[in-house]
A and B are shown apart, each in its own frame.
Chain A
Amino acid sequence: MKAHTALDRAGIEQVRAAVAPVRSRGPLSDALCSILSRPGPRPVPSQSIGHLPEAAREALASSGSVIEDEDLQLSLFLLYGSAYGSLRWIDASWEWHPDLIATRGLLEQAFEAHMRSAVSVADPPRASREAVAAWLFTATAPGPGPSLARFVAKRASLEQAREFLIQRSIYTLREADPHSWAIPRLTGRSKAALVEIQSDEYGGGDPARVHAAIFARTMRGAGLDDRYGAYVDDVPALTLASQNMMSMFGLNRRLRGAIVGHLAAFEMTSSLPNRLYGDGFRRLGFGPEVTAYFDEHVEADAVHEQIAARDLAGALAEDEPALLDDILFGALACLRMDAWVGDRFLDAWQNGRTTLRRARTRGGE
């Protein structure tokens, strides 16, 4: 079996058994899995994959909703996985294959259009630092209604709590990476603000404090597999869509306003829910090994949200007013996606259903 690395308790990468390639979910992801599990082109493609963009067009033409489409979202997830290097079974030399880039572009076009039609910006602020920050604080203000965080705090069963970690692992074992794509695309004070936030996300120089490493300890403490991608087969299109949206915003320079708005909204809706998530895991009897991740985010994101609202998003809008619309779009897209995910999970758990694609038959791995 191919070697694979994962972070150990000290945050040091250790050689581990490889995570197997994923199962396909339709014709496009089937074609992609078959291509990406082969060695990549060196220096030229050994085999034509020119049929892929056409397969993507066909998949899009027959798709009902791009964010609910298992085949499309898994395909996009695999294409981004090739860029991150998070799915170790994908040969790195596939990353810039023109047919894969073309395929990704087609999927992104439909996905972006879907998200733009799903949100509309009412009463946009002036492109000033304080006005944008104030608008973001209003848009992200905590509401009184039921929420996933309150459910986890008060009612989630042990199995639902572990399901929650599995769903979150798609992002959180790679926490902060989607937004880091934006660093070289910004300049001046917004760049400095993004780096200040990301530096804290990445442990401020201490590998054991890298947020993804803290979450890996949470996964292990809950008896779960902390290798990246171990649960891809279990999570539905919507979970992949949530991750893919960040990757799309981060990897396209023209969408740098959106990734900045996304990070601002993400940080600004984090401290209060994370306190509730931590409370839920404490209620279920877990100790600091598992709850440290949530407690860290209560404290860290209370700092990050202030930097993100003013020095990142607000300053970027002031310095590049043409990006204002996309900053607001990215923030609202984050909130909308989180609402879709939260509503879906809450509905499933309140009605005794799993949020996973397949029921897990045993506790750990």
Chain B
Amino acid sequence: MRDDDPVTFTACPDGPLIVRGPATFIDEDGNPIDQPRRAVALCRCGGSAIKPWCDGTHKVTGFTTGQSDRD
């Protein structure tokens, strides 16, 4: 991964945002969040126990994203 590669966000229907590329995630105290993997899933349902990451909780809460980000 190179620093000048673009960061991409992929919207998953009824699920998280998949982020790829050299993004830095900062927590509420301004500290970088340790993030060892190349692709991460960001929670968008609000229910994850490991925010900002997705933990699959959207599948049990009936979360939907509607039609806007479908193919």
Q: How many angstroms between the C-alpha atoms of A338 and B45 in the bound complex?
A: 28
Do the beta carbons of B50 and A299 come within 8 Å of each other? yes
The reply to whether the CB of A262 lies closer than 8 angstroms to some CB of chain B is: no
Q: Among residues 284 to 313 in chain A, which have CB atoms less than 8 Å away from a CB atom of chain B?
A: 298-303, 305-307, 310
- Find chain B residues with CB under 8 A from A303 CB: 16, 18, 37, 39-41, 54
Given contacts A130-B13, A142-B60, A306-B12, contact A298 B38 (CB under 8 A): no
The reply to whether the CB of A204 lies closer than 8 angstroms to some CB of chain B is: yes
Of B38, B59, B70, chain A has the most CB atoms within 10 Å of the CB of B59
The reply to whether the CB of B71 lies closer than 8 angstroms to some CB of chain A is: yes
- Find chain A residues with CB under 8 A from B56 CB: 271-272, 298, 301-302, 305
Q: Among residues 239 to 288 in chain A, which have CB atoms less than 8 Å away from a CB atom of chain B?
A: 271-272, 275
Do the beta carbons of A299 and B12 come within 8 Å of each other? no
Q: Among residues 42 to 56 in chain B, which have CB atoms less than 8 Å away from a CB atom of chain A?
A: 49-50, 53-56
Do the beta carbons of B71 and A141 come within 8 Å of each other? no
Q: Among residues 7 to 37 in chain B, which have CB atoms less than 8 Å away from a CB atom of chain A?
A: 10, 12-16, 18, 36-37
Do the beta carbons of B59 and A272 come within 8 Å of each other? yes
How big is chain B's contact interface, by range? Answer: 20 to 34
Given contacts A271-B56, A302-B56, contact A200 B50 (CB under 8 A): no
The reply to whether the CB of A14 lies closer than 8 angstroms to some CB of chain B is: no
Q: How many angstroms between the C-alpha atoms of A265 and B11 in the bound complex?
A: 20
Interface string of A307-324 (1 = CB under 8 A from B): 100100000000000000
Given contacts A299-B53, A303-B54, A306-B12, contact A129 B71 (CB under 8 A): yes
How big is chain A's contact interface, by range? Answer: 20 to 34
Closest-CB distance, A299 to chain B (whole angstroms): 5
- Find chain B residues with CB under 8 A from A299 CB: 37, 41, 50, 53-55
Contact with B15, one of A130, A142, A301, A306 (Cβ below 8 angstroms): A306
- Report the nearest A residue to B35, measured CB to CB: A299
Q: How many angstroms between the C-alpha atoms of A199 and B37 in the bound complex?
A: 10
- Report the nearest A residue to B48, measured CB to CB: A302
Do the beta carbons of B16 and A306 come within 8 Å of each other? yes
- Find chain B residues with CB under 8 A from A206 CB: 36
The reply to whether the CB of A196 lies closer than 8 angstroms to some CB of chain B is: yes
Q: How many angstroms between the C-alpha atoms of A204 and B49 in the bound complex?
A: 24
Do the beta carbons of B16 and A302 come within 8 Å of each other? yes
| A-binding residues in B (CB < 8 A) | 10, 12-16, 18, 36-41, 49-50, 53-57, 59-60, 70-71
The 6 closest A-B pairs by CB, nearest first: A271-B56, A302-B54, A303-B41, A306-B12, A302-B41, A130-B71
25 pairs, CB–CB < 8 Å, chain A vs chain B:
A137-B59, A141-B59, A200-B38, A200-B39, A204-B36, A206-B36, A209-B36, A272-B55, A272-B60, A275-B55, A299-B37, A299-B41, A299-B53, A299-B54, A300-B37, A301-B56, A302-B16, A302-B41, A302-B53, A302-B55, A302-B56, A303-B16, A303-B18, A303-B37, A306-B10
